[in-house]
Amino acid sequence: MGSFPNQKFDSAGSLLTAYMERLQAAAATVDRAAFERAAVVLLETFARGGILYVCGNGGSAAISNHMTCDIMKGVRSDTDLTPRIVSLSSNIEIITAIANDIAYADVFAYQLKAMVKPVDALMTISSSGNSDNIVRVIEVAKEAGIPTIAMTGFDGGRSATMADINLHVAGDNYGIIEDVHQSLMHVLAQYMRMSGMPVDLICDRKF
């Protein structure tokens, strides 16, 4: 039958309807218990003064960079929380230097190895879960003994089994998988902010 879309749609509206149906179905496949564990890992990491390192390629790099905004700025709003987060996908100068002089597969691992501390954590974002640079950075994190969380799609790839927690989206369309990953990022950030807010402020604030 093939992956979605497996036919030509006659109108943008009909594709939108089908896409949204697939998006809802894909979001429903995320393991809620694994998601709960991921939230606990992040809160515990920040509570002990650790840094959450995040990374991804392409659209997943954009989610990684976006996450630094929503957690560092968003989670601090109306709370006493001081989350520390670094996107390994954000510095194009160091990324291209490592890719050019060493290997593209090392662009995240090389950075993490230079900075990681035992109090830190790693989150990778990869639809395939199989990119060599994602696999290598998880290996470095595991060598350092820090918690690892992987957002994956399709069949999960290697990172799904390597990471301590796998937030897997059962989908076969990059856009849908990335949309759900983005939503997971938003929910984590908003949940953490909410956890540190006075109850009476929650209904008065925009999230």
Q: What average pLDDT is seen over the chain?
A: 96
Query: Is 50 exceeded by the pLDDT of residue 1?
Result: no
Q: Is 1 inside a domain boundary?
A: no
Dist CA 85 CA 172 (whole Å): 30
Q: Is 154 inside a domain boundary?
A: yes
User: Are 26 and 170 spatial neighbours (Cβ–Cβ below 8 Å)?
Assistant: yes
Q: DSSP secondary structure string, 29-50?
A: TS-HHHHHHHHHHHHHHHHTT-
Q: What is the mean pLDDT of residues 78-103?
A: 96
Dist CA 3 CA 177 (whole Å): 13
Query: Is 60 exceeded by the pLDDT of residue 29?
Result: yes
Q: Is 14 inside a domain boundary?
A: no
pLDDT at 198: 86
**Six token digits for residue 102:** 């060493």
Q: DSSP secondary structure string, the chain?
A: --SSP-S--SSHHHHHHHHHHHHHHHHTTS-HHHHHHHHHHHHHHHHTT-EEEEEESTHHHHHHHHHHHIIIIITTTTSS---EEEETTS-HHHHHHHHHHT-GGGTTHHHHHHH--TT-EEEEE-SSS--HHHHHHHHHHHHHT--EEEEE-TT-HHHHHHSSEEEE---S-HHHHHHHHHHHHHHHHHHHHHHTS-HHHHTTS--
Query: Is 80 exceeded by the pLDDT of residue 62?
Result: yes
42 vs 196, more confident: 42
Q: Is 122 inside a domain boundary?
A: yes
pLDDT at 2: 66
**CATH code at 116?**
3.40.50.10490
Q: Is 10 inside a domain boundary?
A: no
Q: What is the mean pLDDT of residues 158-168?
A: 98
Dist CA 163 CA 141 (whole Å): 9
Number of domains into which the chain is organized: 1
**pLDDT over 90 percentage in the chain:** 88
Q: Is 6 inside a domain boundary?
A: no
Q: What is the mean pLDDT of residues 118-143?
A: 98
pTM: 0.94
Domain of 58, in residue numbers? 31-202
CA atoms in the 13 A half-sphere facing the CB of 97: 6
Dist CA 176 CA 3 (whole Å): 12
pLDDT at 151: 98
Q: Is 54 inside a domain boundary?
A: yes
Q: Is 85 inside a domain boundary?
A: yes
